[in-house]
């Protein structure tokens, strides 16, 4: 497991800190509801960088809220209120406490990332056979549900088969999560395409209310949980330009950074120009998708 140097979460009056992930900090409020705060932290290759990206947490929060509205008729979501303490206003939501399913629900409409690696090794992704001759960035014959395990913090999620999900949570719940995941992807892919953006894939998380209702939680359809590509620049057979932290990954792997990935040490601080370009991509994705000015 990689060692993650996650800064201590700030104290928030009236809230009890429960957990911090790579980007988000989770608190409990009086009465039992949760306060989920999106920080400006950024992670690559399982390292949380010392450098932050200004406004990133607020961009992710506002984008998730916009998408939750677009999906409200498909699946309920965990947001209770955006009335949050002043210290985290704009970057936090009050949300329900759910029993989260131990499955990363991934929908793919295009082949790239870990799916591409699996395909090259076996011709399949998560046990789903795909046609021969697909390349990096190829559009799939139809969207597919490619679940993964939820790894411990610092580990990689591991792609699994649908049968594995059935074994973990039961056939009825597995079928429901697959249907919901593909339904959310279809709605979001159509909305994004109308705005000149390809939604290549997305990762969703669901949980259950005490009455058993399945609810969409965490973040949804942000550049941190999804691959968004400019449709006009899509060209299978190469790495696609994207609206995410690929700028940071590319810099870290370049000779300019002086970082040796194999060393096990964290990447060095980001140069100001890389920070600004990365922030610009997040802002651009937000504005193009939502139609709102940042």
- The domain spanning residue 130 has which CATH number? 3.30.470.20
Residue 203 tokens read as 């990762």
For the segment 30-75, what is each residue's pLDDT rounded down to a tens digit? 999 999 999 999 998 888 999 999 999 999 999 999 999 999 999 9
Lowest mean pLDDT among 138-142, 179-183, 260-264: 260-264
Q: Residue 127: is its pLDDT beyond 90?
A: yes
Task: Provide the domain limits for residue 148.
Answer: 99-233
Residue 66 tokens read as 């916009």
Look at residue 129 and tell me if it is in a domain: yes
Look at residue 163 and tell me if it is in a domain: yes
Judge whether 53 and 272 are in contact, CB under 8 Å: no
Band of pLDDT at residue 150, cut at 50, 70 and 90: confident
Tally of domains within the chain: 1
Calculate the average pLDDT of the chain: 94
Where does 124-244 show beta strands of DSSP type E?
Answer: 124-125, 128-129, 139-145, 148-149, 197-208, 214-217, 226-230
Look at residue 208 and tell me if it is in a domain: yes
């Amino acid at each position: 497991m990689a060692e993650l140097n996650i800064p201590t979460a700030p104290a928030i009056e009236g809230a009890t800190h429960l957990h911090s992930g790579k980007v988000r900090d989770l608190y409990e409020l009086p009465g039992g509801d949760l306060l989920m705060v999106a920080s400006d932290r950024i992670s690559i290759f399982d390292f949380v960088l010392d450098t932050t990206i200004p406004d990133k947490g607020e961009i992710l929060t506002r984008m998730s809220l916009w998408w939750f509205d677009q999906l409200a008729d498909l699946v309920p979501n965990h947001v209770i209120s955006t009335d949050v303490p002043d210290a985290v206003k704009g970057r936090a939501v009050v949300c329900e406490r759910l029993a989260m399913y131990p499955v990363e629900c991934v929908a793919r409409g295009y082949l790239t990332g870990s799916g591409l690696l699996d395909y090259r090794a076996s011709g399949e992704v998560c046990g789903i056979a795909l046609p021969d001759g697909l390349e990096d960035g190829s559009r799939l014959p139809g969207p597919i549900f490619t679940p993964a395990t939820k790894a411990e913090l610092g580990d990689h999620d591991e792609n699994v088969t649908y049968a594995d999900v059935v074994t973990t949570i039961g056939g009825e719940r597995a079928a429901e999560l697959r249907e919901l995941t593909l339904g959310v992807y279809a709605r979001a892919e159509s909305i994004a395409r109308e705005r000149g953006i390809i939604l290549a894939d997305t990762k969703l998380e669901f949980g259950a209310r005490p009455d058993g209702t399945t609810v969409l939680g965490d973040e949804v359809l942000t550049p941190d949980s999804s691959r968004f590509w400019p449709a006009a620049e899509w060209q299978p057979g190469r790495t696609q330009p994207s609206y995410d932290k690929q700028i940071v990954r590319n810099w870290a792997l370049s000779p300019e950074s002086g970082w040796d990935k194999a060393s096990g040490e964290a990447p060095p601080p980001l140069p100001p120009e890389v920070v600004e370009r990365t922030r610009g991509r997040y802002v651009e994705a937000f504005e193009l998708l939502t139609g709102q000015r940042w």
